Amino acid sequence: MTKVLRKIASSAVLATAHVVTGVRGVWAGCAPSSEQRIYFANHTSHGDFVLIWTALPKAHRADTRPVAGADYWTKSALRRFFVGDVFNAVLIDRNAPSESRGNVLAPLIEALNEGHSLIFFPEGTRNTGEEPLLPFKTGLCHLARAAPHVPLVPVWIDNIGRVIPKGEALPVPLLCHVTFGAPLALQDGENRDAFLARARDALLALRSRDGGDE
């Protein structure tokens, strides 16, 4: 029963994403593939991981898991169904006390060890300001250290912040692109800040001229 529901729900999400955003994947720096990857993207809306997921090859979707904040996504049964059953998300506790910070990323590393790909938002929260991209939290670097064999693919999502701005429940139809860049990895001897800066630049480099306000 849940399996049928899950299938219906995921088709509905895909169809909605196409009707509302006409989303197109642009494979600028790598080819679509089902190899294990960590996709890291800019985060402006709850629609973000849906768009990346829609742009991925069909066979790759089932084992690509978005990383989502537990505080938001466990609030209602509907959210739990979508994030848990439809997208099989890995939930992280963003409000954990600082002494247990080290364990916050443990479920992600476990998922990587099981062979899953991840969709990860290194800004840590949705960006609703004027800046195109917030400074990265350290999480991306921890992931790169814990799973050095997994390529990190930068993914720039255009326009979705205009489709569902923060605080709005309903989407408006505007075209979106999801641009996949060239994979990168943590280099020998590279320190945390240098790596995070390099990853952030690689992501920003994919940014095309957005529509929207100037």
Q: Which residues bind another protein (CB under 8 A)?
A: 22, 24, 159, 162, 165, 168, 170, 172-175, 209, 211-214
- Amino acid sitting at position 107: P
Cross-sheet strand order for the sheet of 177-180: 24-27, 177-180, 152-157, 38-41, 117-120, 64-69, 90-92
Please, which residue, 168 or 193, has the CB nearer to another protein? Answer: 168
Per DSSP, what are the bridge partners of residue 179? 26, 156
Least distance from another protein to the Cβ atom of residue 173, Å: 4
Least distance from another protein to the Cβ atom of residue 168, Å: 5
Please, which residue, 84 or 165, has the CB nearer to another protein? Answer: 165
The CA-atom distances, in angstroms, between 81 and each of 89, 154, 166 are 10, 28, 21
CA triple 71-56-137, angle to 5 deg: 40
How far apart are alpha carbons 23 and 52 in whole angstroms?
Answer: 9
Least distance from another protein to the Cβ atom of residue 105, Å: 32
Please, which residue, 29 or 165, has the CB nearer to another protein? Answer: 165
Least distance from another protein to the Cβ atom of residue 172, Å: 4
Please, which residue, 188 or 214, has the CB nearer to another protein? Answer: 214
